[in-house]
Structure 1
Amino acid sequence: MRLSPRALLSRLPFRARLAAAFCGLFLLAGIALLAFVVLLARYGTDQQVEGMAVSYGDAPHGDAPSGPATPFEPAYPTRPDHAPAALSDVAMIQKVDQTVQAVQDTALRQMVLWSAVGLLITAFLAGLLGWWLAGRALRPVASMTEAARRISEQNLHQRLALTGPDDELHRLADTFDTMLDRLEKSFESQRRFVANASHELKTPLAVQRTSLQVGLADPLPDGLVGVREDLLTANREAEQLINALLLLARSDRGLEATESVDLAATARLVTAELAPQAAENGVHVDLDADTPLAVPGDPVLLRHLLTNLMRNAIQYNHPGGHVRGRLDARAVTVTNTGPHVPAERIPELFEPFRRLDGDRTAATGHGLGLSIAASIAEAHHATLTAHPGAEGGLALTLRFP
């Protein structure tokens, strides 16, 4: 596909475009100046040639005329014997005029040629100078870009701290630093909330579960046995929800430390843990983890990531369905059978507390599995994508850099 010059120019770096603008403006100004000079030179030469007069006189042999020259009138004398001389003078005048015109054209061509060569060389030098000036002008922007790349959730204390005159770039850097101050305060507040919620929310649930188990211990009347089981189930689901929310908040904060994690071994362990759930749902799980795959990351978070992918494939399936997991050199793929998932609604599955209606709305689960998986993948600089499976269900691909 052919690209327009504007599209090609838009793909160049800003510094190259700025240098090209310098060069183009200088070239246009030089062409306009050269055209102006050539037109004036042509007009002035024509005026000078029209004002020239060629004089002839009857001077003594070898003597120059002492008085002013008389302009030659190209008219034939009255006597016929002077006609050849007049014709010779007219031919001489025409020859002189042609010679002057040829010299004028040659001079103009040479002037245009060498002026054009000089203009191109000067335009090239102007482009180089524009490149250097653009680099000097954009140096603060480059330093701001490098500093912004180094700033993340783990080092929000770092600032651009641009030095120099109080100009537009300096004010832009100060605005970024002010925004980073607000972000640092927000993340610190979130970290404190996660640390406090881990204790303040989980402890009462543990006390509640213990009280239910002790206070409603056997023997119980038949009517209270079902009530106890319902209360314990609600308590367990609330605890799972809190754990999922805390895990989501932890993965959103990024990684504090990494180590090499064997995903093949982790996948086999996860599959073994989920085997009872798969057998209960009547789903066959097939794992191809012969290819070794080691990635740097948090082993706990990566285990939760694979667990959420496999559990999601088992939970949203139909009896007699299957789940296939496969590892290759850089990716993990999990496919399952099940209800058809519209492609336009797949992005909704990665949002917290979002589930599709109908068959994908289960009695258990909170709609956090894929959102947690996507957050953990992003923390490990990996990408998690999904598309409808050929046999229904989803095909999830986790690709590491």
Structure 2
Amino acid sequence: MSLDPRTLTSRLPFRARLATSFAGLFLVVGAALLAFVVVLARHGTVQHVQSMQAMYVDTPAFDPSQFSVTGATGAAGAAGAAGAAGPAHLSAAAPGPNSLSGAVLLQKIDQTVRAVQDTALREMVLWSAVGLVVLALAAGVLGWRLAGRALRPVAAITGAARQISEESLHQRLSLTGPDDELHRLADTFDTMLDRLEKSFESQRRFVANASHELKTPLAVQRTCLQVGFADPLPEGLAEVRDDMLAANHEAEQLINALLLLARSDRGVEATEPVELGGVARLTAAELAPLAATNEVGVKVFEAAGPMVVHGDPILLRHLLTNLTRNAVQYNRRGGFVDVRLDAAAATLTVTNTGPHVSSEKVLDLFEPFRRHGPDRTAQSGHGLGLSIARSIAEAHGAELTAQPRAEGGLVLTLRFKP
């Protein structure tokens, strides 16, 4: 399987990518400079060799002391000429240009110069390449350190953002330093925190006001109905009273559900150990009358000992109550509800029988005022049970998922962090 270099690069941290870019850029520029130097050095040495002057001598009259090399001495001088030194001129007295021994001598000199030239270029390329690789690694290490210094404000912003929650929105980054891109990013983040703090504060005020302004009139209305329409009543008014009291009770339940949803969205302020097995059994006992009315059996199973989690006991009780009530309410006659707790896996599973649910509509069940079935205005429930359950689960760092059963019904799985 072939790997795309872009995919591999994208998996690296930004600091590593920045350091790699520094080293790669240095390597490319150094390689281009090395190639430029080698080409010019090769061209220059060829020109110097072609410009050499030689005179032919007869073999008997040949005396090596008659030759002189200007600009270098010996083989080392020839090697220097091959690199960047001035031209070396060989001169000697010769009796005539047609001497055979002179031609042999010139051929040997030419071969020696070319061998020295090739050796000098090869050594220059070899050691230059080694130095280039070493310097590229040094540039990568230096780039890593420079990238760390450059990204230090970003790390500070990230750390501060992780510490800021709904309960600490008053904190600000207040980044100091020059007015650059990072400083403007921190200022933008602080401005966003200002807007979020105002929004959450407005929500808190709304929840507090709604708790008084909505529930109190309903309580007064219920009292007036019970007192004003006390028995004995004329024929027909008793049924009207019961309908009005039922509507009042439904409205009060809806307001309580909305307030609970708003509270769970705000998160958990204080936690304590909660044994979910006891909560599940208590919930099953409270819903026993509803289960008996719907002819549904509710059972609680525990595996691997007691399951203890840290959280808000009131919210966790509402979580299990909503899951179990939803499983009982949307069930069939003679069906069952199984609540299984696995302490080893830190999971709680609620399985129920009931109508078939398509996998495409499962996610819609967690939306507020969404229920399975075409009748959205049914008298049973408000479509907030699973929405509240998921919100409470997220407030405790847990995950609530749903899967449809092939035989009908749902499997709701609540996973807590180990």
TM-score range, shorter chain: over 0.9
Moved over 3 A (4+): 56-66, 68-76, 358-362
How far apart in 2 are the matches of 1:28 and 1:65? 45
2:257 pairs with 1:244: yes
1:345 aligns with 2:361: yes
The runs of 5 or more residues in structure 2 that have no matched partner are: 69-89
1:20: which partner in 2? Answer: 20
Whether 2:342 is the aligned partner of 1:328: answer yes
Alpha-carbon distance between aligned partners in 2 of 1:372 and 1:215, rounded to the nearest angstrom: 36
Q: Deviations over 1:35-93 (max 9, x none)?
A: 00000010000000111122245879898599x956869953xxxxxxxxx22221221
Determine whether 1:142 maps to 2:155: yes
Matched residue type, 1:238: A
| 2:373 alignment partner, one of 339, 357, 367 | 357
Amino acid paired to 1:280 = T
Q: CA deviation at 1:8?
A: 0.8
Distance (Å, rounded) in 1 between the aligned partners of 2:62 and 2:106: 22
Structure 2 match to 1:52: 52
Query: Deviations along 1:76-120, whole A, 9 cap, x unmatched?
Result: 3xxxxxxxxx22221221111111111111111111110000000
Given the superposition, is the C-alpha separation of residues 69 and 44 from structure 1 closer, same or farther in structure 2, using an over 3 Å criterion? closer
Equivalences for residues 224-235 of structure 1 within 5 A: 224-235=237-248
State yes or no: 1:98 paired with 2:111: yes
Equivalent pair of 2:66/2:93 in contact (CA under 8 Å): no
The answer on 1:185 being equivalent to 2:198 is yes
Q: Number of residue pairs matched?
A: 391
Q: 1:277 to 1:95 in 2, by over 3 A?
A: same
Structure 1 residue 258, shift from structure 2 partner: 0.7
1:8-39 deviation per Cα after TM superposition (whole angstroms, max 9, x unaligned):
11000000000000000000000000000000
| Structure 1 residues 236-258: Cα deviation after superposition (integer angstroms, max 9, x where no partner) | 10000000000001001111111
Measured after TM superposition, the shift of residue 196 of structure 1 is 1.4
Identity of aligned residues (%): 70
Inter-partner Cα distance in structure 1 for 2:108 and 2:326: 100
Asked if 2 retains the 8 angstrom alpha-carbon contact of 1:157 and 1:184, the reply is yes
| C-alpha distance in 2 between matches for 1:73 and 1:57 | 6
Partner of 2:315: 301
Aligned equivalent of 1:218, options 228, 231, 234: 231
Map Cα deviations across residues 210-269 of structure 1 (whole Å, 9 max, x no partner). 111111111122311211111111011000000000000100111111111111111111
Contact 2:370 2:383 in 1 (8 A): yes
Separation in structure 2 between the aligned mates of residue 60 and residue 123 of structure 1, nearest angstrom: 53
- For the 8 Å contact 1:339–1:359, the answer to whether it is kept is no
Q: Does 1:88 align with 2:104?
A: no
TM-score (norm 2): 0.89
8 Å Cα contact 2:56-2:102 kept in structure 1: no
**How far, CA to CA, are the matches of 2:249 and 2:189 in structure 1?**
45
Structure 2: how far apart are the matches of 1:56 and 1:304? 111
Q: 1:384 and 1:138, CA in 2 relative to 1: closer, same or farther beyond 3 A?
A: same
In the alignment, the residues of structure 1 paired with residue 353 and residue 392 of structure 2 have an alpha-carbon distance, to the nearest angstrom, of: 24
Q: Which residue of 1 aligns with 2:41?
A: 41
What residue in structure 1 maps to residue 87 of structure 2?
A: none
* 1:162 positional shift: 0.7
Distance 1:289 1:362, change over 3 A: farther
Mapped contact 1:57–1:65 kept (Cα < 8 A): no
CA distance in structure 1 between the aligned counterparts of 2:205 and 2:372, rounded to whole angstroms: 33
Structure 1 residues 397, 360: closer, same or farther in 2, change over 3 A?
Answer: farther
Task: Report the CA distance shift for 1:71/1:126 in structure 2 as closer, same or farther (over 3 A).
Answer: farther
1:243-262 paired onto structure 2 within 5 Å: 243-262=256-275
Unmatched tracts of structure 1, length 5 or more:
77-85
1:80 counterpart residue number? none
| Preserved contact between residue 265 and residue 391 of structure 2 (Cα < 8 Å) | yes
Query: 1: CA distance between counterparts of 2:168 and 2:307?
Result: 30
Q: In structure 2, what residue type is equivalent to 1:19? A: A
Offset of 1:359 from its aligned partner?
7.3
What letter matches 1:212 in structure 2? L
Is residue 340–residue 350 contact of structure 2 (8 Å, CA) maintained in 1?
yes
1:380 to 376, 382, 396: 396
The answer on whether the counterparts of 2:356 and 2:406 sit within 8 Å (CA) in structure 1 is: no
Matches within 5 A, 1:65-84: 69=91, 76=98
User: Match for residue 74 of structure 2?
Assistant: none
Whole-angstrom distance in 2 between the partners of 1:110 and 1:74: 39
Is the Cα–Cα contact under 8 Å of residues 15 and 134 in structure 1 kept in the other structure?
Answer: yes
CA distance in 2, matches of 1:247, 1:2: 53
DSSP 3-state at the match of 1:256 = coil
SS of the residue 2:332 aligns to:
coil
**What is the DSSP-based 3-state SS (H/G/I as helix, E as strand, rest coil) of the residue aligned with 1:217?**
coil
